[in-house]
Amino acid sequence: MKQIIAIGGGGFGRIIKDLKIEKYIKLQSSKESPKICFIPTATGDDKDYIDNFYKAFDSLGCKTSHIDLFKRTIDLRPHILDQDIIYVGGGNTKSMLAVWKEWGLDVILKEAYEHNIIMSGVSAGAICWFEKGITDSWKDNQATIDCLGFVEGICCPHYDEEPERIPYVKQILEAGEIKECYAVEGYTALHVVDDIPKFNVSFKKDTTCHHVKFSNNKIHHNSISDIIRVDL
């Protein structure tokens, strides 16, 4: 079974608190101590971010590692294909994807996904798996960029957390630039199973994933029907 857990915001990158998100990711593996590899490229391999990853997932009994693409880099393919879970951090999506392409990591991740290694991530690490993603990689504006294309559709993270997100989605829907969008709020994940966005996973009261469409001159927010409220 192929899985992607696309998180709209939250988790160990901000504050190590209840680890609900991290526990949910771990539970999707059938192993007691799954191997999980962190890819923090979007922050330029920020040290504090990497330290928080180890603190979070080590405390859950995972076998942890990370990939550094801005120092001397390990042989990527055997390491990635030996994992149970991949976790991609947030940051600058456009720069991250450019670096991955240079290293061939985009192709390796696709191979891992096809071998049922769980893909997960937050913000940049959420949208990267879709055909396109809505990003704030530029300082002064939102943009829609091409992503890896593992899953059909367009994804927008931080939908309720950053004030420019909702107006931008509305703008591009009304302009006909896109037909629909998966909009993921903070402390919520869109859980994709076998290429289909299937579960709306909420780690906090009143957060959700929206399937946003424009029809009959109106914006329609439809919730993903299968809702999981997580209290781990």
How many residues make up the chain in this entry? 232
What is the arithmetic mean of pLDDT over 159-165?
Answer: 88
Cα–Cα separations (whole angstroms), residue 2 to 34, 78, 85, 189, 202: 16, 19, 11, 16, 21
Contacts of 179 (CB under 8 A, 6+ apart): 173, 213, 214
* Arithmetic mean of pLDDT over the chain: 92
Catalytic sites, residue numbers: 123, 158
Instruction: For residues 28-44, give the mean pLDDT.
Output: 96
Rg (CA), the chain: 17
Contact 134/158 with Cβ under 8 angstroms?
Answer: no
Output the pLDDT for position 226. Answer: 67
CA atoms within 13 A on the CB side of 146: 3
Q: Where are the domains of the chain?
A: 3-229
Quickly tell me which residue has 């990003």 as its tokens.
135
Q: Does the pLDDT value for residue 194 go beyond 50?
A: yes
Coil, helix or strand at residue 38: strand
**How wide is the angle at C-alpha 65 spanned by C-alphas 195 and 5, nearest 5°?**
20
Percent of the chain beyond pLDDT 90? Answer: 77
Q: Give the global pTM.
A: 0.94
pLDDT greater at residue 203 or residue 39: 39
What pLDDT, in 10s, does the model give residues 111-141? 999 999 999 999 999 999 999 999 978 777 8
Give the pLDDT mean for 18-25. 92
> At residue 231, does pLDDT exceed 80?
no
Does the pLDDT value for residue 227 go beyond 90?
no
Q: Which helix H or strand E contains 101, and what residues bound it?
A: helix 93-103
Return the number of other C-beta atoms located less than 10 Å from residue 11's C-beta. 29
Q: What percent of the chain shows pLDDT beyond 70?
A: 95
pLDDT digit string, tens, across residues 213-222: 988 888 888 8
Which of the listed ranges 14-28, 142-156, 162-176, 205-219 does the model predict with the highest average pLDDT?
142-156
Biggest CA-to-CA distance, the chain: 54
Sorting pLDDT into bands at 50, 70 and 90, what band is 232?
A: very low
Over range 150-164, report the average pLDDT.
93
pLDDT for 216: 84
- For 220, the 3-state DSSP assignment is strand
Q: In this model, does residue 92 exceed pLDDT 50? A: yes
Calpha distance 43→83 (Å, rounded):
22
The percent of the chain in helix, strand and coil, each rounded to the nearest 5, is 30, 30, 40
3-229 has CATH 3.40.1360.10 classification: no
Work out the average pLDDT over 178-184. 94
**Nearest Cα to Cα of residue 6 among 183, 225, 143, 177:** 183
Q: How confident is the model at residue 229 (pLDDT cuts 50, 70, 90)?
A: low
CB-based contacts of 16, cutoff 8 Å, min separation 6: 52, 55, 56
Cα–Cα distance between 120 and 117 in angstroms, integer? Answer: 10
Closest CA to 183 of 145, 213, 205: 213
Instruction: Please say if the pLDDT value at position 209 is more than 60.
Output: yes
